Amino acid sequence: MSLQQAEDRIRQLDRELADTEDNDRRRELLQEKSRLLSEAYGNISAYDRVYLARKPARPGVRDYINRIFTDFFEQHGDRLMHDDPAIIGGIASLEGLPVTVIGHRKGKTLEENLKFNFGMPNPEGYRKALRLMKQAEKFRRPIITFIDTPGAYPGLESEMHGQGEAIARNLMEMGSLTVPVIAIVIGEGGSGGALALSVADRIWMLENSVYSILSPEGFASILWKDASRAREAAELMKLTAYDLYNRGIVDRLFGEPAGGLDESSRSIYERMKNALITELGVLTKLSGRALVEQRYKKYRRIGDCTSD
């Protein structure tokens, strides 16, 4: 039984518990619920983590901005065409330290999903992000990015506007930024759309986030011509936070409660805030040249370990 199926059954049990007054029946329902919780969360598969990473109730970039930073001032537009709402970015304060915060933005309702294109940016979004990064470099502000996207938008118009070039330019420019960059995968980290915001000095992941070249459904469709084999594909892709941490690609993991995070999971904000303050205290002491050199060595090492 998948985690999603177990959660569906648990919700059904909760409804039955609310409707029954028979003590024996309540005891049976509670025992089944306890067993399901133990089985479901005691042996989470890679695809279960994909499911948790995609949950609409999971905190998004705005939740982290509101609870970790103060005085956030959002900036808009790429200065070429228009503003892409799938990318949010601006200036904020982290315990008195000015920083630039950028992230993919998904919605929690159908209306928001449509407005933010389900977290899939167009090239204008990546150009906006790069504009804010270069501004941060000019004023010596550290950069913090939050990754949560199924991938860059693959539509015809986005390709006509230079989607590939926009992503490639971000990769190139981020590699040579002379200010600290920390990238945090908070949900889905899909394809070049995620990588375009995650060439960083430190890459962190939440326990139930995922980071991969494409979705398990897309992988299964390409490899076997069968998207229904996504669960099998997820195991092969090594896309979980633990897989990537063990291979040395990710620098830090943040644990999550059973069942994953929701907006009320306050401890994650405090832990992440403290980690950012500590890490930036180290990185801001390095010269721009040292940051670029260390970043280069980091990605050479990642390239070596992924080619094994």
The contacts of residue 8 (CB under 8 Å, 6+ apart) are: none
- Give dist(CA 43, CA 256) in Å, integer: 15
CA angle 268, 203, 280 (to 5 degrees): 75
Same domain, 284 and 180: yes
Please tell me the predicted confidence (pLDDT) of residue 308: 55
Please tell me the predicted confidence (pLDDT) of residue 2: 75
Please tell me the predicted confidence (pLDDT) of residue 18: 79
- Give dist(CA 43, CA 231) in Å, integer: 14
- Give dist(CA 201, CA 144) in Å, integer: 10
The 8-class DSSP code of residue 150 comes to S
In a domain, 50, yes or no: no
Its pTM stands at 0.89
In a domain, 48, yes or no: no
Same domain, 65 and 23: no
**Termini Cα distance of the chain:** 33
Regarding predicted confidence, which is higher, 293 or 302?
A: 293
Please tell me the predicted confidence (pLDDT) of residue 107: 86
Same domain, 170 and 286: yes
Same domain, 282 and 179: yes
Total structural domains within the chain: 2
> Given pLDDT bands bounded at 50, 70 and 90, which one contains residue 305?
low
Same domain, 11 and 76: no
Same domain, 69 and 177: yes
Average pLDDT estimate for 92-99: 96
In a domain, 287, yes or no: yes
> Given pLDDT bands bounded at 50, 70 and 90, which one contains residue 172?
very high
H or E stretch at 234: helix 230-237
Please tell me the predicted confidence (pLDDT) of residue 233: 93
Same domain, 14 and 104: no
C-alpha to C-alpha distances, 85 to 22, 54, 61, 138, nearest whole angstrom: 52, 19, 12, 24
In a domain, 62, yes or no: yes
In a domain, 225, yes or no: yes
Token pair, residue 58, equals 């999971």
Same domain, 108 and 27: no
Same domain, 120 and 63: yes
Write the pLDDT tens digit of every residue in 59-81: 999 999 999 999 999 999 888 88
Asked if residue 283 has pLDDT above 90, the reply is: yes
Tell me the angle at which helices 46-54 and 3-19 cross, rounded to the nearest 10 degrees. Answer: 60
Asked if residue 1 has pLDDT above 80, the reply is: no
Same domain, 21 and 77: no
In a domain, 124, yes or no: yes
Same domain, 26 and 154: no
- Give dist(CA 178, CA 82) in Å, integer: 27
> What CATH number is attached to the domain comprising 86?
3.90.226.10
* Residue-number span of the structural domain to which 17 is assigned: 3-43
Same domain, 144 and 251: yes
Please tell me the predicted confidence (pLDDT) of residue 261: 80
- Give dist(CA 201, CA 224) in Å, integer: 36
